Structure 1
Amino acid sequence: MKRDRGRGGVVVHPYRGYGSQREAFLMGRVFRQSALSRMIPHHGMLRDVADIVRRIERRGMAGAEVEIRLGANRLTVTTDRDGYFDVHLPLKSPLPQGLSWHVADLSVSHAGEQVHCRTGVYIPPPDTDLLVISDIDDTVMYTGVADKLRMLHRLFVQQAERRTAFPGVASLYQALHRGAGGGAKRPILYVSRGPWCIYEMLEAFFQLNRIPVGPILFLREWGISWRRPWPRRAEDHKHDLITRMLTLMEDMPCVLIGDSGQHDPEVYTRIVKQYPGRVKAIYIRRVDRKPDRERAIQRLRDEIADSDCQLVLAADSATIAVHAHQHGLISQADLVAVREASRDAAL
């Protein structure tokens, strides 16, 4: 947001892509950034407030042509009415072997203006043994979704360095990324109902806290404006994205991580029933101790008791790590690291 130094203009923001050996997907947005006066300092509260206004006031540029090149594969798409482009690129020409990350070149044309940029696309190696899919809000980062006003304040106002990661989360996700052997480099996909305009903040938050950033952050367009101050409904957003990933990754097993505050246990249980044998574990972070909610989660646990998947309701990252180690998902050394990180944070 701040890269234009307040001058405004056309901005192309591609999000990191993902795919398989046969196809690749990536999204992004073309928008016109509102100009800021050069009198506003580059740092401080006044600049932060101005940048929040700019996020809300971003004007998507409909009808822009976006050409994507990934290796020898090319495709041209057009942005929708909100300025977003969603690319499904068949990989007719194979990409270099031995790499997980590939570089996609983008060329955007609109009303005589041209912008060029690049983004990364993650293709899991053929021998990848596990896919990790995680919620963000109140699972990785404390958001407080139960309190809507505070949640909105944290989403739009708090900077990345002032946000709080749950104790032991970085060590736990690093362990799952590495696997029991230490060199797996498993893909971690993050799913959130948050708006795309906080993408930059989330990337900074993950890097500051040394949490594996994963190939993509799956957010959604809220459609917020001064005339429409509340987000558009997104029915089955998380369910649809997870089923899309499981279809793309074919037979690859997965682990699902979420929290007890919203609908993660219900969505994940539904996934277990739809994809028998694919989900190895469901880890749910306990964010409150409401008796009715705990009974509801216990009923969900009973519903999948006959499957190959266990639903673990965990008070902390160390509890999740213990189960993951017992089932061969992380190493002994990483289990110790998660325990130490959780203990140090509690002191």
Structure 2
Amino acid sequence: MSGLLRRLLRIAARPMRRDRGQGGYVVHPYRGYGSRHEVLLMGRVFRQAALGEVIPRYGVLRDLADVIRRVFRRGLPQVTVEVTLGENVTTVTTDRDGYFDVLLPIEHPLPSDSAWHHAELHVVLPGVEPVHSFTEVYIPPAEADLLVISDIDDTVMYTGVANKLRMLHRLFVKQAHQRMAFPGVAAFYQALHVGRSGKAKRPILYVSRGPWSIYEMLEEFFQLNRIPVGPILFLREWGISWRKPWPRRAEDHKYDLIQHMLEMRDELPCVLIGDSGQHDPEVYARIVHQYPERIRAVYIRRVERSPERERAIQALREEISHTDCDLVLAEDSAAMAEHACAQGLIGEEGLERVRRTSQP
């Protein structure tokens, strides 16, 4: 096996190493997001196979076995999950694939001196030890003056999510973190996060077309590239089985998800960031029509250069021209940052950092 394939296999197996091959029941929550009134939290309860003592703890065979275990995780339906955030407690039930969505009203106030809050999750299953886990929930501080919602694929990083081997190659081959993120992205998102004052601590939410199964890999990608961490929300599960051989469809789901995020913080203006390759401009234009006074700018990274696509995006720009929102079709991160600076969304220092890092 070539060095490349071994490296890809090792990376793909990495999220499984925490259980040391023991398998069993797992409750896996993802970072949550909310306001002082309610929070949204997602996750999954599943069972994964154990390896036993037959397969060595290290080496290609172990990595391959861990990848197979990960692919064939079995979600547990109709399981009750108890979620505790401070003194706020609720229970939810998993769906047929083991996933759960929590919308937790905040009836008991959380500490106001922190934006990240610790949530605990508990699952009691018949005949086994209770399963526990925890995650972090981001609640923007009172001084936050802007909400940023960004696509990931072909917006923050080069695409490949539809082809998993290609995605793994681009993300995790030697020094991949230096060329996977679009130039200037980290500096631009850092500038948006801190604002003109440098202390704004604005929330950044990431929405992806990818499957939940790449969550851990994306988190590592964000850390490697020093892109501000925020809740990552996905549109669908790509779980493959004989019963469901194709990914779930995601029609209108992105629109509904963004709309819900806006309604959770109805006092915050918002910036939307996406790419021209798929449906981001159309979805974002719908959002602008729905919230014409709240969307400050729509930034679309140009990745599709066909004349037909250019005309379609121009038509969308004209559709929302009666609002205060500009739809910017940008060649690179610097073009987005220049507009953002002119609109007072980021400071001059942030703009200069984006300019310095935007060259491929």
1:303 paired to 2:319: yes
Q: Secondary structure at 1:234's aligned position in 2? A: coil
In structure 2, relative to structure 1, the CA distance for the partners of 1:234 and 1:8 (3 Å cut) is same
1:20 maps onto 2:35 in alignment? yes
Q: Where does residue 154 of structure 1 map in the other structure?
A: 166
Deviation at residue 111 of structure 1 after TM alignment: 1.7
> Which residue of 223, 239, 242 corresponds with 2:258?
242
Cα deviation code 1:108-151 (max 9, x no counterpart):
11123311221111111223110000000010111157xx5xx3
Partner of 2:329: 313
Q: Distance in 2 between matches of 1:138 and 1:46?
A: 33
**Helix, strand or coil: the match of 2:165?**
helix
- Separation in 2, partners of 1:166, 1:179: 21
1:270 to 283, 286, 290: 286
* Residue 229 (structure 1) aligned to one of 230, 245, 254: 245
Distance 1:176 1:71, change over 3 A: same
Q: In the aligned structure 2, how far is the partner of 1:74 from the partner of 1:31?
A: 22
Q: For 1:154 and 1:74, how far apart are their aligned partners in 2?
A: 42
The match for 2:133 is: 117
Cα gap change, 1:235 to 1:156, in 2 (>3 Å): farther
Paired letter, 1:87? V
Once residues 244 and 345 of structure 2 are traced to their aligned partners in structure 1, the CA distance between those partners, rounded to angstroms, is 45
Residues in 2 aligned to 1:199 and 1:155: alpha-carbon distance in whole angstroms: 13
Q: What does 1:192-231 align with in structure 2 at a 5 Å threshold?
A: 192-231=208-247
Matched residue, 1:324: 340
Q: Which is further off, 326-335 or 49-58?
A: 49-58
Query: Corresponding residue for 2:71?
Result: 56
Q: How far apart are 1:171 and its partner, in Å?
A: 0.8
Partner Cα separation in structure 2 for residue 208 and residue 294 of structure 1: 33
Task: Give TM-score, length-normalised by structure 2.
Answer: 0.89
Q: Could you tell me the percent identity over the aligned residues? A: 66
- Once the 2 structures are TM-superposed, how far is the Cα of residue 49 of structure 1 from its aligned partner? 4.1
- Which of 292, 314, 324 is residue 308 of structure 2 equivalent to? 292
Q: What's 2:96 paired with?
A: 81
In 1, Cα distance between equivalents of 2:91 and 2:160: 40
Aligned runs of 1:37-56 on 2, under 5 Å? Answer: 46-56=61-71
Per-residue deviation, 1:52:
3.5
Does the CA-based 8 Å contact 2:24-2:50 persist in structure 1? yes
1:136 partnered with 2:152 = yes
Distance 1:45 1:290 in 2: 43
State yes or no: 1:31 paired with 2:46: yes
- Aligned pair count? 340
Q: CA deviation at 1:158?
A: 6.0
Deviation string 1:11-64 (CA, Å, 9 cap, x unpaired) is: 111111111111112111111112336565666665554444233211011232
Given that 1:52 and 1:157 are in contact with CA atoms closer than 8 Å, whether structure 2 keeps it comes out as no
- 2:344 partner letter: G
Residue 282 (structure 1) aligned to one of 283, 289, 298: 298
**CA-atom RMSD in angstroms:** 2.0
Displacement of 1:273: 0.5
SS at match of 1:120: strand
After superposition, give the CA deviation of every residue in 1:167-198 in whole Å (9 maximum; x if it has no partner): 11111111111111101110000011211111
8 Å Cα contact 2:299/2:328 also seen in 1: yes
